[in-house]
Structure 1
Amino acid sequence: MTRVRDWLRSQNLPTGARAPSERQIVEGVGLSRPTVRKVLRQLEAEGWLQAVSPRVRTTTEWCRAVYNSNSNNIAVVTRVVDAQINPAQRQWMLNRMVSGIARAAAERELNSLLLNPAATVPDTVARFTRDPPRGALFLWDAEQTPLGMLPLVQELARRGLPLVVQPDTVPASRIEGLACDQVRSDHCSGCRELTQWLIRRGKRRMLRLWSLPARPEDQPIWSVERHRGHEAACAEAGIEPLPVIWVPHVPMIWEEEGFRTSCRVNAGFLIEPLKQGIDAILVPSEEHVFIAAGACRLLGLEPQRDVLIVGYDHFWETAATRRFEPSVPPATVDKQEERIAAEMLVLLLARCSGKLPPEPQQRLVAPRLVETATPS
């Protein structure tokens, strides 16, 4: 069906035009006439074609391509410039992605154009239809819209636009709905290596102090994979992993009032685990390192001496919460955003050129463990 669908799109027929005959399609795609007839019936059922008579069909809007294989433009779907959605430190992470895509595109004499996913799906599709790009790259923050990225991804994929998605923030329960090519950091191996680093330093009671806007059952895929990696490292070392401590999310932690409030909330959840003798803390991201450290101080502990607190994402130097806490994480994980960006573009161009099988492809980019300071 994909071959017939793509061939029909390549004809650039306007909506309502008479579709090519069965014979023309057989010659165009190299399939047998019975196979073409079966596919055409399926396309009619899906609304791609409308039957006027047994031998005549007309095209619907679905036959109109929303991409241009000759275009030099690659759409990058991101909210990187939206400060309300992405505070300074997260803009910094996204900037690494955007600059990586721009650099890789320029090397191939292509343009990268930013597109805000906050617009409604019909408006965004209309934009693509008016000026079709060669393909589109969805960065992880495109999920931060009222409906998430899934409706727009599905609509554009159905219309034939080549897509590559970085699905890190998509809830694990919805990841199968992204039936398109994907690239993301290997969060499982990243957290496994970080946990092994702690174990080599004699840490065996490692607490995952987890504060996310989402409920535990709605965890994004990166969180699910991070827990899997931690538990795998523990199992390899014969350690029973401690249960995850889910801490209520406090908004605006990059402002001092939000930071102090979050420290107090986290301290309340640390009282019992500390009584049981934890020796290390893992947190979702770098800004939480400084919150966990502040919480430890409220309980009379010296962070990074009495208990190690490791980071993730490797932006601790620019994290907005750092200005409230002097200690720094002894180790973190760099997700390699620029490599992810370059791999997304490579995969997209491979899809555009027909070098990939029809099934969606997935690429994992190996992260890098970074030692940032000598632990006490």
Structure 2
Amino acid sequence: MATRTVTSHSPRARTLRTLRGWIDQGILPRGEVLPAERQLGEQLGVSLATVQRALRVLENEGQIRKHRGRMRTIAEHQNISLLRNHMLVVADWHEGWPNKNASGWGLYVTAGILKGLAANACHGTIFSPDRLHTDEFHDFLAHQPRGVIVSEIDTEDAELMQSTLNSVIQAGIHCAVFGDEQECQSFDRVVPDHQQGASDLARYLIERGRRRIALLWYGHTLRQWAIARRSGYEQALTQAGLIVLPTIHVPSVAFTNQEPAQLFQTQVHLFAGALAPSILAQEPIDALMVINDAYVPAAIAALRRLGKQPNFDVDVAGYDAFWSESLERQYEPLPPVASVDKDNLTVGRELCSLLLRREAGQLPESPQRVLIPSKLRIYH
């Protein structure tokens, strides 16, 4: 079933925000009669239908009251929601903070958001993505939080992301999003510069004398981060006059009944099978850019199984800069030669800053996209 997209700058969303602002500022005084729908439409520059939809939302919130006929008044006393100075942060917080110290973990985006909110005397309420399908989320939105920041939703679940964003905008609430996927592009968003990060990583491998460099992906994905990283890789190799190689894809298979050690060996087997044609070729690859640090140990173990000495015959580079806390390193302790840190704390702080600037009217009307530079982390 197709989902209708509502942008953060749609006429209804703008109308809701403007009317709420007029009520809060006393431009529409409490207890007085609300101007006619047509007059409001002319003042706001929107259609009569848009005004009517916005007024229905305000009636449901208790901001205005409808009387007999078409007369409406501004409510004398509104119960001020406890959430009016809260930012609702959609994030998965069960990963074990503060047990993870490597900033590559996604929870550091949320940590950056909370630091940014605290610095601006705002409160943050974390809402688990697991609860987005429930009425609880819509109940939160009905209480009109100050804004919503979407930090973590499964990036492969485009439908959930789209329905979440639609719900926020239909409620007339400002929203900022982490990520650059298609469903996010009508919203203010903050994005790690994956193209620059992958390009810097490839250039480092080239500086180490590597000439046949390939990306190693676990599974297939067409998400924007993967496209950006491929673009950065191609840019670096093309500028160096090297051959751009196809991405090597390891089959993504779920083995839910396996113990961790057994699962690791299964992954090594899959990685070795995917790598064999490129490693054992007449012109073998001499460097791998692995999808992230969690799969570096499996890639290294697979190279050993194929008779290659990792980081000597073939360099292995990671991504996300959390190798030091990767569970898989207990089975293969050799680190990657380098990784990329997306600077998640800065991403989180900028999400907070972007939303506050939107609220203050300091941004252009069009959705803003902020790129955060990635940082190269060298281990060898």
TM range (shorter): 0.7 to 0.9
In structure 1, which of residues 300, 303, 309 is the aligned counterpart of residue 310 of structure 2?
303
Identity %: 28
Q: Is the 8 A contact 1:69 1:352 kept in 2?
A: no
What TM-score, normalized to structure 1? 0.80
**CA 1:245–1:92 in structure 2 vs 1: closer, same or farther (change >3 Å)?**
closer
- CA–CA separation in structure 2 for the residues paired with 1:254 and 1:285: 21
2:139 to 126, 129, 134: 126
Post-superposition offset of 1:338: 0.4
Corresponding position: 1:256 with 2:261: yes
How much has 1:370 moved relative to structure 2? Answer: 1.1
Query: 2:322 aligns to what?
Result: 315
Q: Which runs of 5+ in 1 are unaligned?
A: 27-31, 60-66
* 1:366 paired to 2:377: no
What's the counterpart of residue 115 of structure 1?
A: 127
- Give the match's secondary structure for 2:84: coil
Query: How far apart are residue 91 of structure 1 and its match?
Result: 10
Other structure's SS at 2:160 match: coil
CA contact 1:205–1:279 (8 Å) conserved in 2: yes
> Which of 163, 169, 177 is 1:151 aligned to?
163
Q: Which moved more, 1:138-147 or 1:359-368?
A: 138-147
AA of the residue aligned to 2:324: E
Over the aligned positions, Cα root-mean-square deviation in angstroms equals: 3.4
Contact 2:37/2:51 (CA < 8 Å) preserved in 1?
no
After superposition, what is the alpha-carbon deviation per residue over 1:50-94, rounded to whole angstroms, capped at 9, x for unaligned?
A: 8x9xx95889xxxxxxx97993322110123168xxx97999713
Preserved contact between residue 118 and residue 145 of structure 1 (Cα < 8 Å): no
**2:148·2:174 contact (CA, 8 Å) conserved in 1?**
yes
May I ask how many residue pairs the two structures share in their alignment?
Answer: 339
Matched, 1:94 2:97: no
Cα deviations by residue, 1:226-270 (Å, 9 ceiling, x for unpaired): 001101111111122100111111446992111110110110111
Of residues 18, 25, 42 in structure 2, which corresponds to 1:7? 18
| AA partner of residue 235 (structure 2) | A
Q: Contact 1:286/1:313 (CA < 8 Å) preserved in 2? A: yes
**Mapped contact 1:164–1:344 kept (Cα < 8 A):** yes
Q: Which residue of 2 aligns with 1:331?
A: 338
Shift of 1:121: 5.4
Q: Which amino acid aligns with 2:265?
A: R
2:93 counterpart of 1:80: yes
Deviation at 1:49, TM superposition (A): 5.8
Letter in 1 for 2:278: P
CA distance in 2, matches of 1:228, 1:144: 20
SS at match of 1:363: strand
Mapped contact 1:314–1:334 kept (Cα < 8 A): yes
- Output the TM-score relative to the length of structure 2: 0.79
Q: Is this contact kept in 2: 1:309–1:330, CA < 8 A?
A: yes
Q: Residue type of the partner of 1:39?
A: S
Q: In 1, are the aligned partners of 2:104 and 2:321 still within 8 Å (CA)? A: no
Amino acid aligned to 1:21: A
Unaligned runs of 5+ in 2: 1-10, 57-65, 74-79
C-alpha deviation, 1:157, in angstroms: 1.5
What secondary structure, in the 3-state scheme, does the structure 2 residue paired with 1:149 have? helix
CA deviation after TM superposition for structure 1 residue 144, in Å: 6.6
Counterpart of 2:307, as a letter, is G
Given the superposition, is the C-alpha separation of residues 114 and 22 from structure 1 closer, same or farther in structure 2, using an over 3 Å criterion? Answer: closer
